Amino acid sequence: MKKIKLACIIDDDTIYVYGVKKLMKIVDFCENTLVFKNGKEAIKYLKPVIEQGEGIPDVILLDINMPVMDGWQFLDEFVKIKPKTKEITIYMVSSSVDPEDVNKVKDYADVSDYIIKPITEEALISLIDKNP
């Protein structure tokens, strides 16, 4: 099975982050993981990384509801800095089943899919298969 080199989790729920990292290890999802507790932290880290073109994550698992900068605000900022040479696959991962949230994702071409929490082993394995 192929493996993602670098995954990024942007989520303020420490229990979820712990669980998804454990699942990633079980399914051998990725080689390395970055974790940020809100979108602002992630943008602050990603902007220089993207400018330098090194250490860019392959996949981002992005929560919607976070303090400081939520998932939607992150996406609005991300489109301004996204890399031109490498595609980052973004999955919105949320406990929200609100149809508005599910439909809003369609407004963002950079988001590949909307996944309802809790994420499962099967979902992670399918993300590996979907990742280019």
- What burial class does residue 57 get, using C-beta atoms within 10 Å of its C-beta: 0-12 exposed, 13-18 middle, 19+ buried? buried
Question: Which top CATH class is 4-130?
Answer: alpha beta
> Rounded to a whole number, what is the largest CA-CA distance in the chain?
38
Q: Give the β-pairing of 59-62 and 4-10.
A: parallel
In angstroms, what is the C-alpha Rg of the chain? 14
Residues paired with 34 in a beta bridge: 8
Average pLDDT, the chain: 93
Digit-coded pLDDT (tens) for 77-104 = 999 999 988 899 999 999 888 888 888 9
DSSP 32-69: EEEEESSHHHHHHHHHHHHHHTSS--SEEEE-S--SSS
Other Cβ atoms less than 10 A from the Cβ of 28: the count is 14
What is the DSSP secondary structure assignment for residue 90, as one 8-state letter?
E
Q: Residue 27: what pLDDT?
A: 94
Digit-coded pLDDT (tens) for 20-53 = 999 999 999 999 999 999 999 999 999 999 999 9
- CB-CB contact of 32 with 82 (8 Å): no
The full set of domain ranges for the chain reads 4-130
